[in-house]
Structure 1
Amino acid sequence: MAQDDNIYYTRGMEVPETPEPGATPEFWEKTAVVGKPSPRVDGYERLSGTAVYPSDIKLPNMIYGAILRCPHPNARVKKLDAGRARKMPGVRAVITGDSDAAKNLKWRYDDFTTPLFDPHCRFEGEAVAAVAADTPYQARDALAAIHVEYEVLPHLADHDRALDENAPKVHETGNLVGKDEYSRGDVQKGFARADTVVERTYNTQCELHTPMELHGCVANWDGDRLTIWESSQGVYAVQSTISEVLDLPFSRVRVIGHYMGGGFGSKLQPGKYTVLAALLARQAARPVKMILTREETYLSVGNRPASTMHVKAGMRSDGTLTALDFRCTGPSGAYPAGGTSLMDWLVRDLYQCDNVSCRSNDVYINAGPARPFRAPGHPQGSWALEQMIDELAGKTGMDPVDLRLKNIPEISQARGRMPYTTTGLARCIREGAEKFGWKDAVKKARQHNQSNGHVKHGAGMAACLWIAGGGGQPSTVVIRLFRDGSVNLNMGASDIGTGTKTIMALVAAEELGVRPEMIQIEHADTGTTQYATPSGGSKTVPTEAPTVRNAAVEVKRRVLEMASGDLGVPAEDLDYKGAEIVSRSDKDKRIRVTEVSRLKKRGVVVGVGYRGPNPAGKTVNPFGAQFCELEVNQKTGEIRILRFVAAHDSGRVMNRLTYDNQVFGGIVMGIGFGLTEFRQLDARQTGKLCNRNWHDYKLPTALDVPADMESLPIEIDDPEANNTGAKGLGEPVTIPTAPAIANALYMATGIRFTRAPVTPLEVRRHLDLQKEG
């Protein structure tokens, strides 16, 4: 290669000075590649189909697994006969609760442990048996041949009835999973000081996980070593669970998850299907592919729990909040799963209020257990709180924007008044309103609605924070700089479709002065990459990005030590300037990185980076505000969203393309929560799930999403958060979407829709009630 060939470097790139050995790198004041709109480093693979997802894995002699599931929401297995199934063509393995391979194995839901095949099936879709056969069709035929006799028991499908004395008991101990209480100040005195008091009950329906790639895995044994290709948000979490269930050392369980087609929290943990695939593969001595059907995922891989929330709020005439009282009930499902987890957090922390009381009842029902679902608890709580704030503004004639700005906290009240590293809530509201043209939009909507036409317009807004999004320990990243100037980046974190690999490449490129396309990335493989926690909670970028930067800084430090011998000056006198290393005291003393003699001799230099702790005594949180304009056809009840503006403070924008993608995707998911998605159980008769497919479970389509969506980053330097200044973004965008829609619907119709989702049928029903007075 020619000496002047700069293919591995970007000419003119500003590279930060190298810190002294052991010193923390200075906060980036200006960046060359970070923050710019950059295409994904694996874009070609994803678009061309060459990316290998677990669903694509094909191994020699591979067979196919399938699970027999209980068809009842509450039943006991009285008798199971798999004799016919074992004799069917192509069947290689059958496992039941009586099989030696499974009868002593346990499965854990939080701190609740059950047999892997529990004879008491407490939700429709619980695993009863599993088979593996040469083809998926033979496996399904074998399931049909297994004879099971059930004792069908009374079921409970309504969480509002769970604590009634006469309600069926999901567990012998009763239907209460647990209670959670929080308070500060004195709410009764707060209400006594209020000039306006409003209280209302809000409901949200259960939202089902349904990512594009189905849940599942491929399991293969090599002697006593197990390899699993899993569609997972965290390969180390899968390794830990499978090692525990199968009583295997971690060193004998390898989990690979290079690509995955969506998870949104449902793939933060493995399912029973992972264990069953491993057991079938060991029994058959063949690799087993176990990919669930879409119908199965609706039953067994989690959901966003439904909720019933009662909110009472008090406010002075000047807009000061004096008291907030929040009561809620939510279902974990058949096992503990956080049915009310974080549902009250926005009430506790979003707005300045000295007197707050929250009480939550987490209950059991006979349905699949919940799982984390993009900002667990927050969209439900936001649906209630942000409509209540809007109603308070209407009662007193205040503008909803002004009322929110009146009650901006500077500290985290729910964390013992701990200060935020930065808070952009006020800027999100103020600048988002300006970008949206809030006052003009409200004026035009009201003028339009004075006509006698049947299509009415509305504008609404809502704000949020996300409890997490600051990242944290542990994280380890290894970077290798090769003698030709190219780079290998090794990390355990999963890229769940958000562009994590791209952002990490940009961070390494920024620090080392290399072009991002010259960085090879290894990730999400417990056999070859470094430990990482699962990618979820909007913590991946703020966790891994500073770790990558620390690893790059260590590489630079080592290269400077090597170059000091070539230049005859101390390493402390040298600056790493991308393609070159230059003496600070004598600019004529310089050397190209690829010409450093010890690097050329060794062939590679390795830097290991670790994630440091978050700032002591402070909290790192992202904030946001969203604005919606819509129209309602009063004849049909149809809602058409016209535009959205989303203003979010998530620290430094790391890649503008993936940033905007996250914003638009979060809005779409919030539209589903607010307008179209709900789990329909046959509560009165069978307790079974009625809408277990994409036809009956209404995900938003292109026809439900506005073409006019704007992403407005509110970038605030946050050097205390971490050395890159990044905060989480994935979760916050979904939180305020639905209440912004609901508040716009109120302006359009004069009706406060307290039950989500708001379907056309619901709109028409309320309009008819409105006419009847």
Structure 2
Amino acid sequence: MAANPDKHKQPEAFPAPDPPRAGETAKLWEKTRFVGKPFPRVDAYERLSGSAVYPADVRLPNMLYGAILGSPHANARIKRLDMTRAEKMPGVRAVIGGTVPEANPAWHYRQGRPAMEVAGKLFDPHCRFEGDAVAAVAAENPYQAQDALRAIVVEYEVLPFVADERKALQPGAPLVHGEGNLVQTDRYQRGDVEKGFAEADVVLQETYRSACELHTPMEPHGCVANWERDRLTLWESTQGVFAVQSGVAEILGLPLAKVRVIGGYMGGGFGSKLQAGKYSVIAALLARRTGRPVKLILPREQTYLAVGNRPPCNMRLKAGVRKDGTLTALDFSVLGTGGAYPAGGTSLVDWQVRDLYSCPNVRIETTDVYVNAGPARPFRAPGHPQGSWALEQMMDALAKAIRMDPVEFRLKNVPSGSQAREGMPPYATTGLRQCLEEGARAFGWKEARQKTGAPPGKASGEGHLRRGVGMASGLWVAGGAMPPSTVIVKMFSDGSVNLNMGASDIGTGTKTIMAAVAAEELGMAPESIQIEHADTGTTQYTRPSGGSKTVPTESPAVRAAAIHVKEQLLSIAAEALKADKADLAVMDGRVLSRSDDSKSAKIADLAGLKQRGVIVGIGSRAPDPPGKVVNPFAAQFCEVEVNVLTGEVRILRFLGAHDSGRVMNRLTYDNQVFGGITMGIGFALTECRILDASQTGKLLNRNWHDYKLPTVLDVPAEMVSLPIEILSPEINTTGAKGLGEPVTIPTAAAVANAVYDATGVRITESPISPMQLCKLLSEQLKEG
């Protein structure tokens, strides 16, 4: 029977995307049903109900509990280690320490990088930082394990220490390593800096310091280890199961095929869980010694010492500018430390100075030194917030000196390409200008500036509460893709779908976004897609979820796999429906003709699919476009209220404008923006590692009471997320760029600039504490 022409459906009635033709690359979606919409996480029920299984929730039959004894000293040699008493204690099944023949003696604190000459050991007889592993135990319960640690007798030769990187290179400073305290000095230059300063109408110079921040994710670090004959399985709280697999296999001398790492749920990492920890290897050794599973989750106090930090930085920035707002020269020097071992103490601190603003003459020198403190690890946009703290405050100072609005000054210096990379390649998309313009408009920047602002040397307003507004910009050096990545999508004979990927969901909503990408192509609800992820035994290789590369890397691979499934499904349906394959679309569990509504069928009813049993689609991530750079950009604006009597700073409102390509899910997008800003507020106002630099070298604030993370009382009730959605097929087939890192980069500097606007006091050392601000305000009053 002929179809009723009145019921013909036009192509535009189908939001389902067309599959690409053979040899073509998938085009960017024009209209979407799921991608970009604010729908809840696909695992929301599990997370909220408590049924989600984290590594700390794993319980295996006959399981033991592990614990690590850390050095109580900042610098000490072990003279004697006696574990005999601990070995005899009730419930204790294994005690290890000293030399462990089963493990490679070298331990590199910056895994995945070219090996540095200086390396530690799993249990190093020279403990160069408080918390360095000395011994470990496995017992029937956690209490017996802790009792056994206290029974281990250790005699130390306590050595002089250096806990302040500013003193590490002074004559007579205690040596962290025998060859000296200098890790490395790096230099970079373009143009003629001295000529640039000569051409400037205004030259300013300032010194800045950013405090060390400590990694304190909600879920502590740790794992469960179990051996089955010669095969090791780890349930680990990690951002990258394949990275942990390679790290543990290397240390234990095992083939990769003999090590399986299962990720599943995790409660935050922010860079501190990108690699295997000593706890991973120690748990495996204890499990091998006992022949039983071992759970080893670090106590919170131990994580403050041994699982990483954002390094402190001491920065000097000299900058030149013409009266018209053109930057002429930037001269930047940095002294920082990654702790007691090579761990990237000054890594990427200079990138904002190198690349954010157009400047022909730039000179940089970074000096990384050793101190007796825990090694650093990547920390949400490594190096960038520190560099931004200096550069963005200097940009405001320069704008004031030439009497130009801070936003207009930055707009004057927006670059067209990546100056720090050889050949100055263009950006695939550059949203910095839009971030600045649209962010300022949405925030009401000009209007707010007219209401606030301190005259030179004075605080703004009347009374003891003064208001000010500030802003800052930023870019993240990465945020594009980091292949390889392979994803498998399966459609079963009943039309149900399984998505298999190696990426970890570190709390950012990766599973939800990938489900939406597959759903967009396959015409089904995201929550109906079953997901397998983060398991080296069952999922496909990818790099760790970090660097804001996860969505840009994985989503094109997921889309390619889903398209592969759809192409096969449409071929089956075209044969069954006697229809042109190009005329068919997949929607809500059916295959439909775009032109003839009489030709449709349920996916589950297709005989060809039943005969095959399953359709398998494989997708991989292609490299980024050659000759183009994919980076995300940001501009942030805030208003603060400062109590000039107490030095307290209250943030009233905050707006973040971010160019991160396509918004993949508006709810998770905003979650990332608000979370990243909150972390930046911690940098600005509250977070600071405090070491007893004069007497013991010990960490003085090793708990959430004394280490001040921002709480709901420290963040503004009014926070606005403003996506600057710039799409380009040159980015990738989904149009996404990274978001997690860039959100934290300019926040602290924006707050500092707002405090200056309110008070006329420039705070160059983080965090902006009430004591520091009161002192500077007092000095301001004395100067009149």
For normalisation by structure 1, the TM-score amounts to: 0.96
How far did residue 81 of structure 1 move? 0.5
Query: 1:258-273 maps to which residues of 2 (within 5 A)?
Result: 258-273=264-279
Instruction: Give the counterpart of 1:640 among 640, 646, 650.
Output: 650
The question of whether the paired residues in 1 share the 8 Å contact of 2:119 and 2:341 is answered with no
Identity %: 66
How far did residue 114 of structure 1 move? 2.9
The question of whether the paired residues in 2 share the 8 Å contact of 1:682 and 1:689 is answered with yes
Instruction: Give the counterpart of 1:530 among 537, 540, 545.
Output: 540
Instruction: Give the counterpart of 1:441 among 435, 440, 448.
Output: 448
1:207 counterpart = 2:213: yes
Query: 1:550-699 maps to which residues of 2 (within 5 A)?
Result: 550-568=560-578, 571=581, 574-576=584-586, 579-582=589-592, 589-699=599-709
The question of whether the paired residues in 2 share the 8 Å contact of 1:86 and 1:93 is answered with yes
Query: 1:499-510 maps to which residues of 2 (within 5 A)?
Result: 499-510=509-520
How far did residue 559 of structure 1 move? 1.5
How far did residue 441 of structure 1 move? 0.9
Matched letter for residue 113 of structure 1: A
Evaluate the alpha carbon distance shift between residue 562 and residue 361 of structure 1 in structure 2; reply closer, same or farther with a 3 A threshold: same
How far did residue 235 of structure 1 move? 0.6
Query: 1:168-567 maps to which residues of 2 (within 5 A)?
Result: 168-415=174-421, 416-446=423-453, 451-567=461-577
1:138 counterpart = 2:144: yes
Which region of structure 1 is more displaced relative to structure 2, 762-771 or 671-680? 762-771
Matched letter for residue 60 of structure 1: P
Q: Which residue of 2 aligns with 1:150?
A: 156
Matched letter for residue 107 of structure 1: W
List per-residue Cα deviations over 1:735-773 (Å, max 9, x = no partner). 010000000010111111000001111111111121222
Q: Which residue of 1 aligns with 2:6?
A: none
For 1:665 and 1:99, the matched residues in 2 are separated by 42
How far did residue 601 of structure 1 move? 1.5
The question of whether the paired residues in 2 share the 8 Å contact of 1:230 and 1:257 is answered with yes
For 2:740 and 2:769, the matched residues in 1 are separated by 26
Q: Which residue of 2 aligns with 1:713?
A: 723
For 1:605 and 1:391, the matched residues in 2 are separated by 61
How far did residue 565 of structure 1 move? 2.8
Secondary structure, counterpart of 1:412 in structure 2: coil
Matched letter for residue 311 of structure 1: L
Matched letter for residue 65 of structure 2: Y
For 2:168 and 2:322, the matched residues in 1 are separated by 37
1:124 counterpart = 2:137: no
Matched letter for residue 42 of structure 2: V
Q: Which residue of 2 aligns with 1:8?
A: none
For 1:666 and 1:288, the matched residues in 2 are separated by 35
Matched letter for residue 427 of structure 1: Q
For 2:299 and 2:483, the matched residues in 1 are separated by 36
Secondary structure, counterpart of 1:132 in structure 2: strand
Could you tell me which runs of 5 or more consecutive residues in structure 1 were left unpaired when the two chains were aligned. Answer: 1-10
Evaluate the alpha carbon distance shift between residue 98 and residue 180 of structure 1 in structure 2; reply closer, same or farther with a 3 A threshold: closer
Matched letter for residue 420 of structure 2: A
The question of whether the paired residues in 2 share the 8 Å contact of 1:67 and 1:129 is answered with yes
Matched letter for residue 198 of structure 1: L
The question of whether the paired residues in 2 share the 8 Å contact of 1:472 and 1:612 is answered with no
Matched letter for residue 664 of structure 1: F
For 1:532 and 1:695, the matched residues in 2 are separated by 38
The question of whether the paired residues in 1 share the 8 Å contact of 2:460 and 2:759 is answered with no
Could you tell me which runs of 5 or more consecutive residues in structure 2 were left unpaired when the two chains were aligned. Answer: 1-11
List per-residue Cα deviations over 1:654-694 (Å, max 9, x = no partner). 00000000000001000000110000011111111111111
How far did residue 248 of structure 1 move? 1.0
The question of whether the paired residues in 1 share the 8 Å contact of 2:460 and 2:757 is answered with no
For 1:246 and 1:762, the matched residues in 2 are separated by 49
For 2:571 and 2:207, the matched residues in 1 are separated by 66
Evaluate the alpha carbon distance shift between residue 269 and residue 585 of structure 1 in structure 2; reply closer, same or farther with a 3 A threshold: same
How far did residue 577 of structure 1 move? 5.1
For 1:477 and 1:22, the matched residues in 2 are separated by 20
Evaluate the alpha carbon distance shift between residue 380 and residue 435 of structure 1 in structure 2; reply closer, same or farther with a 3 A threshold: same
For 2:623 and 2:580, the matched residues in 1 are separated by 31
The question of whether the paired residues in 1 share the 8 Å contact of 2:483 and 2:542 is answered with no
The question of whether the paired residues in 2 share the 8 Å contact of 1:17 and 1:576 is answered with no
For normalisation by structure 2, the TM-score amounts to: 0.95
Secondary structure, counterpart of 1:553 in structure 2: helix
For 2:713 and 2:595, the matched residues in 1 are separated by 63
For 2:203 and 2:766, the matched residues in 1 are separated by 24
List per-residue Cα deviations over 1:58-102 (Å, max 9, x = no partner). 111111101111111111111110010000000000001145445
Q: Which residue of 1 aligns with 2:47?
A: 46
Query: 1:732-771 maps to which residues of 2 (within 5 A)?
Result: 732-771=742-781
The question of whether the paired residues in 2 share the 8 Å contact of 1:303 and 1:369 is answered with yes
How far did residue 294 of structure 1 move? 0.7
Evaluate the alpha carbon distance shift between residue 701 and residue 585 of structure 1 in structure 2; reply closer, same or farther with a 3 A threshold: closer
For 2:254 and 2:349, the matched residues in 1 are separated by 37
For 2:13 and 2:237, the matched residues in 1 are separated by 41
How far did residue 583 of structure 1 move? 5.7
The question of whether the paired residues in 1 share the 8 Å contact of 2:214 and 2:310 is answered with yes
Secondary structure, counterpart of 2:677 in structure 1: helix
Number of equivalenced pairs: 762
How far did residue 563 of structure 1 move? 2.6
For 1:192 and 1:520, the matched residues in 2 are separated by 63
Evaluate the alpha carbon distance shift between residue 300 and residue 567 of structure 1 in structure 2; reply closer, same or farther with a 3 A threshold: same
Matched letter for residue 292 of structure 1: L
How far did residue 238 of structure 1 move? 0.6
Evaluate the alpha carbon distance shift between residue 451 and residue 583 of structure 1 in structure 2; reply closer, same or farther with a 3 A threshold: closer
Runs in 1 of length 4+ with deviation above 6 angstroms?
A: 584-587
For 2:124 and 2:728, the matched residues in 1 are separated by 50
For 1:557 and 1:24, the matched residues in 2 are separated by 14
Secondary structure, counterpart of 1:419 in structure 2: coil
For 1:31 and 1:179, the matched residues in 2 are separated by 50
Secondary structure, counterpart of 2:107 in structure 1: strand
Secondary structure, counterpart of 2:713 in structure 1: helix
Which region of structure 1 is more displaced relative to structure 2, 336-345 or 91-100? 91-100
Matched letter for residue 720 of structure 2: E
For 1:589 and 1:659, the matched residues in 2 are separated by 39
Which region of structure 1 is more displaced relative to structure 2, 173-182 or 606-615? 173-182
List per-residue Cα deviations over 1:24-46 (Å, max 9, x = no partner). 11111111110000100000000
The question of whether the paired residues in 2 share the 8 Å contact of 1:486 and 1:514 is answered with no
For 2:218 and 2:212, the matched residues in 1 are separated by 19
For 1:23 and 1:413, the matched residues in 2 are separated by 33
Evaluate the alpha carbon distance shift between residue 434 and residue 585 of structure 1 in structure 2; reply closer, same or farther with a 3 A threshold: closer
How far did residue 251 of structure 1 move? 1.4
The question of whether the paired residues in 1 share the 8 Å contact of 2:460 and 2:758 is answered with no
Evaluate the alpha carbon distance shift between residue 508 and residue 356 of structure 1 in structure 2; reply closer, same or farther with a 3 A threshold: same
List per-residue Cα deviations over 1:476-521 (Å, max 9, x = no partner). 0000112222210000100000000000000000011011121000
Secondary structure, counterpart of 2:137 in structure 1: strand
For 1:390 and 1:99, the matched residues in 2 are separated by 55
